[in-house]
Amino acid sequence: MSKLILTVDDSASMRMLLKATLTAQGFRIEAANDGNHGLERMLEVQPDLLITDINMPGMDGFGLIEEVRKLPQFRGTPILVLSTEFAEDKKTRARSAGATGWITKPFDAERLASAIRRVCP
């Protein structure tokens, strides 16, 4: 069965782009529009992988990663950050919160799929 990925981004166009790109790569996709919604969806759909933006209203990506990592059932779930941010301090903060990897927007579909397969075989 194909892997289920939860994408969390406040941009509707980015959620649609991720869904189209990742569905074409054979993944099943669920989406959320911010960190709070993302945490709810994590509990509902129990994804194999979380992809989250950092800059979102309400709970940002850092907060979402921290909250997800507090839940025992998601301690081993890979989390990829997909963001326009690329500053080293942001990447360090994401890793400290529990992120598995970082991909900078705009993303290349093949590189994204490769990164997903690396962290979620």
- Which two tokens mark 14? 């980015």
Residue 16 has pLDDT above 90, yes or no: yes
What are the phi and psi torsion angles at 7 (to 5°)? -105, 135
Q: What is the pTM of this model?
A: 0.96
Cα–Cα distance for residue pair 87/34, rounded to 1 Å? 21
Which residues make Cβ contacts (< 8 Å) with residue 90, sequence separation at least 6?
54, 83
| The pLDDT of residue 23 | 96
Q: 67 falls in which pLDDT band (50, 70, 90)? A: very high
Length of the chain: 121
**What CATH number does domain 4-119 carry, 3.60.21.10, 3.40.50.2300, 1.10.3720.10, 3.20.20.140?**
3.40.50.2300
- The answer to whether residue 85 scores a pLDDT higher than 90 is no
Domain-wise residue ranges, the chain: 4-119
How far, in Å, CA of 56 to CA of 37, rounded? Answer: 11
Q: From CA 81, how far away is CA 100, in angstroms rounded?
A: 8
Instruction: Supply the DSSP symbol for 31.
Output: E
